[in-house]
Structure 1
């Protein structure tokens, strides 16, 4: 497959900008850069003429790869500010890891429409949750027993892997629903990103081995050039987002991002409904 050099330059610049934005959002809002990276990659891969059956898996797998260095950078910054709940991280990390590995393996057996549908539905719910002025509170503490120790972290790990996100998109609102302090939720979620991304990437690499119509320099469902361009910027901007999270009230920015996410989710759901 031969690509127009001018198109490749534009796409490379687009990936750098996407990485910078994703890094800031990962640190600032705790939503995980993947919620931006996946739809952008999906559109860019489509512009390159990559088959729709491959594009969504490639977008998710590549996004997960970028989350590894970004989450390390973001988590280190939050840890310096004492914003990571180490006890919760120790309890949830093993279960999140298993859920993420399961999600990565499951991707091999899901077609592009199913993967896009999962992303679209959850992204739509997240956008609505972000737009609601008052955080939904279910309880004043995290549940104990199987739900708190198993169901919640396993679900966060599994669905995050299938969406190509780092976990903040799901774990921050879940923790907030149980009265977890927002700054500690965002900080701890940044560490969850690494726990999710490593096993999930392994699953997507395995799932994509030998699949045809992938772009050059792809490892399974991971586009290495795209991943490098994105995380080269996201690693630099994640600490900035973390710093802003502790000095700004991001309410207005959340509303703008919620609107963007809402429209993006509708676009992806429309693609599933119409088959294009």
Structure 2
């Protein structure tokens, strides 16, 4: 057991990280995973977590935090009838399967590999955000199976490897096929549930017994971070949302795109810098 002073510093850093993540999540209107992972990576580095497991721990802990937040969001959207339940029912196997595959990959992947994956997807997301056009369409309705099943599995894999709830990826998929952003966001909350629950158990299994993990960790999940971050992000998010109302949709999209570019460059620099 480390000294109390080190645990207090760890808790303080996580509380600050949660505030930043919540503020940015509220500002950019996303679940926070894309923000939490790079923030966790920095904080875990400051307390001396082994580089070999730092990215794994960041991704797994982010997925654990997404479980209650995505479930709460999904139930709220469900009451308003905005969720595409047919799509979610069709993905009850596909998306969790992808999340489990992601955990299996993570159990064998190096820290560098996970950072490269995160950076590559972040750049793709940034491209869409910065250069997005309403006219971009691939069809007027969602594709049938097996294409739809494969997309769900792919969203589960990529989100599980990034430690995100799948919101950005699913929003892109649904909007490219003519669905409204309101329905896409509502449905993405359900996708987050399908990703985060199997992802949580998968990352516990993937990291079980690994050396170099900080105190109070189960595999690649750090429970100190989980229980500190959830309330802090929920407090901070409304302030970010208030700030968002002072900006246009285009400014928010561009701002988030630039943020993702900076995160991607940070991870690239950590590997080759």
**Counterpart position of 1:117:** 116
Q: Given the superposition, is the C-alpha separation of residues 101 and 134 from structure 1 closer, same or farther in structure 2, using an over 3 Å criterion?
A: same
Q: Given the superposition, is the C-alpha separation of residues 96 and 83 from structure 1 closer, same or farther in structure 2, using an over 3 Å criterion?
A: same
Determine if contact 2:24/2:240 at 8 Å carries over to the other structure.
no
What is the aligned-residue RMSD (CA, Å)?
2.6
Give the TM-score normalised by structure 2. Answer: 0.89
Superposed, which structure 2 residues align to 1:197-216 within 5 Å?
197-216=196-215
**Counterpart position of 1:137:** 137
Find 1:11's aligned residue among 4, 10, 13: 13
Give the TM-score normalised by structure 1. Answer: 0.89
**Counterpart position of 1:256:** 255
Q: CA deviation at 1:154?
A: 0.4
Distance 2:242 2:61 in 1: 26
**Counterpart position of 1:156:** 155
**Counterpart position of 2:229:** 230
Q: Given the superposition, is the C-alpha separation of residues 232 and 143 from structure 1 closer, same or farther in structure 2, using an over 3 Å criterion?
A: same
Q: CA deviation at 1:250?
A: 3.1
Q: Name structure 2 gaps, 5 residues minimum.
A: none
Distance 1:188 1:131 in 2: 23
Q: Name structure 1 gaps, 5 residues minimum.
A: none
Greater Cα offset, 136-145 or 207-216: 136-145
Distance 1:151 1:244 in 2: 37
Per-residue CA deviation, residues 175-195 of structure 1 (Å, 9 max, x unaligned), is 111111111001100111011
**Counterpart position of 1:34:** 33
**Counterpart position of 2:217:** 218
- Give secondary structure in 2 for the equivalent of 1:176: helix
Give the count of matched residue pairs.
270
Determine if contact 1:211/1:220 at 8 Å carries over to the other structure.
yes
